[in-house]
Structure 1
């Protein structure tokens, strides 16, 4: 194998590995999505994307139980950006919170935390954009 072929093969393999590493974090259109489980049976999802010079952040709680009241908050680079209470609804027993955020210099780090008032179950989803 010639040196050029070896370098070309190595470059192609590196590019393919980089594409595999980035692909799970993005859901297209430069949207970053993360999912996970809470301290009980509930699941969380966070999502962020660039839009009109700002960042659009979304946090979602899916407990599969309609009518649950949850306290939630969003931290953006360690600073409280929003907080409130939401109630799960619909057949999916979920709620979502969307906020437009300032696109700060460097990597924006978000923490979406929600606590179910009755059971005390805690959900904590993080995302870097």
Structure 2
């Protein structure tokens, strides 16, 4: 009995590019199992953890009474511009502070949507709820 699997084109291309890179470096084919596969698993786990943290933050922002948002630009050691977004909010009478970090300035709009407008509260536009945006 023969089984067939339908593989999405982007996954097949990624697998091909990884195999091509291994061959070009002259490494044995097992390096894909001992080096690349564990690194890919770690990247997936980090992405999952980041998504969970973002979901927790958004759920806490939906329930908070007051929040402040501060936007700032910084430069790292490679002279790459970093966009910093500081969010301070009151959650169950405890002041929490979170930092969102992105490399491109155009990402500010998406950050503001995902962390403020996504909260979906009608009072978020008032000055009582959102204290500072600078």
Class of the TM-score when normalised by the shorter of the 2 chains = 0.3 to 0.5
Considering fraction of residues, name the structure with more strand.
1
Considering fraction of residues, name the structure with more helix.
2
RCO higher in structure (CA 8 A, sep ≥6): 1
Using the size of structure 1 for normalisation, the TM-score is 0.37
Using the size of structure 2 for normalisation, the TM-score is 0.36
